[in-house]
Amino acid sequence: VARTLPGERIIYFGDTARLPYGNKSRKTVTRLAVEALRFLEHFRIKAFVVACNSASALAMPVLAAEASVPVLGVVEAGARQAAAATRTKRVAVIGTRATVASRCYEQALAALAPGIEVASAACPLFVPLVEEGWTDHPVTARVAGEYLQPLRDFAPDTLILGCTHYPLLKGVIQTVMGDGVTLIDSGEAMALELQTRLADLECLAETGGGDHRYFVSDQAERFHDEARRFLGDAAPGSVSAVDQSDLPWFDRGAAFQEEQD
């Protein structure tokens, strides 16, 4: 988003005290996502991006109903890009257990372009493998071979990387699936979708961007180091920790915003 919309300012919240969301129930993921929305709404935001696939898969209806601004989910963005990319109308999806079980991509693709066939596979070890830094490790190749075998048999021409961590495994996944398969990075898809949406709403900023703010609920320092692996030079200069020890913790956003003003 920072690269695609250089005129915008991003306020980011990462719920590191309560992640991962991918193994949790719809009820719990929805509650946690609404709390994140409440926190970020203190910053006079003009749009709310759900950058986590599991939260997009499970919490979108409630978030859209509760939010005071437009809500964009990464699932819808990825599905739209996949629908545009596929020639053979065979799309594969990989994600966490929660994302795959929700069948959100199947529903989004059916709504966008009836007639697309979809196969999906949960890949629960991919996130821990990326967090271990084993993006190029033979174990990861082996795990990918096993998880993706049913999808190879399905023979799609497009595969949606339905989790924030999976783009770091693009190399391994492309090798297993073959060069003929287009990989859809739902983060990139989201950035384009956000650009279009803000332009439609006539509130896309051309200048004055940057000075992004990053908040996490635990381990700000470790987040800062790990962000380098995901973002390279675009990694945040500083990351603030938000205390969640009492409710409503998310109203701490107000104090952070005032400090800014």
Please give the torsion angle defined by the CA atoms of residues 246, 15, 81 and 95, in that order, rounded to the nearest 10 degrees.
Answer: -110
Q: Which one of 100, 143, 151, 160 is in contact with a copy of itself (CB under 8 A)?
A: 143
Buried b or exposed e, range 45-69, using 16+ CB within 10 angstroms? beebbbbbbbbbbbbbebbeebbee
Phi-psi region at 115: left, alpha or beta (left = phi > 0; alpha = psi -120 to 50): left
**25 versus 260: smaller Cβ distance to a copy of itself:** 25
Residues 218-257, mask of contacts with a copy of itself (x by CB under 8 A): xx-------------------------xxx----------
- Check residue 220 and report its DSSP letter: H
Is residue 241 exposed (0-12), middle (13-18) or buried (19+ Cβ within 10 Å)?
Answer: middle
Active-site residue identified among 104, 123, 163, 203? 163
Q: Which residues pair with 197 in a beta bridge?
A: none
Is residue 136 at the binding interface for a copy of itself, with CB under 8 A as the rule?
A: no
DSSP string, 73-92: EHHHHHHHHHHHH-SSSEEE
| 132 part of the interface to a copy of itself, by CB under 8 A | yes
Closest approach, Cβ 138 to a copy of itself, in A, equals 8
DSSP strand pairing (239-241 vs 213-216): parallel
Residue with token string 């049913």: 150
Point out which span in 64-72, 73-81, 123-131, 194-202 binds a copy of itself (CB under 8 A): 123-131
Note whether 200 binds a copy of itself by CB under 8 A.
no
52 assigned to active site: yes
Q: Does 31 bind a copy of itself (CB under 8 A)?
A: yes
Closest approach of a copy of itself to the CB of residue 226, in Å = 11
Residues of the shown chain interacting with a copy of itself in the complex, contacts defined by CB under 8 A: 16-18, 23-25, 27-28, 31, 124-125, 127-129, 131-132, 138-139, 142-143, 146, 217-219, 245-247
The residues carrying an active-site annotation are 52, 163
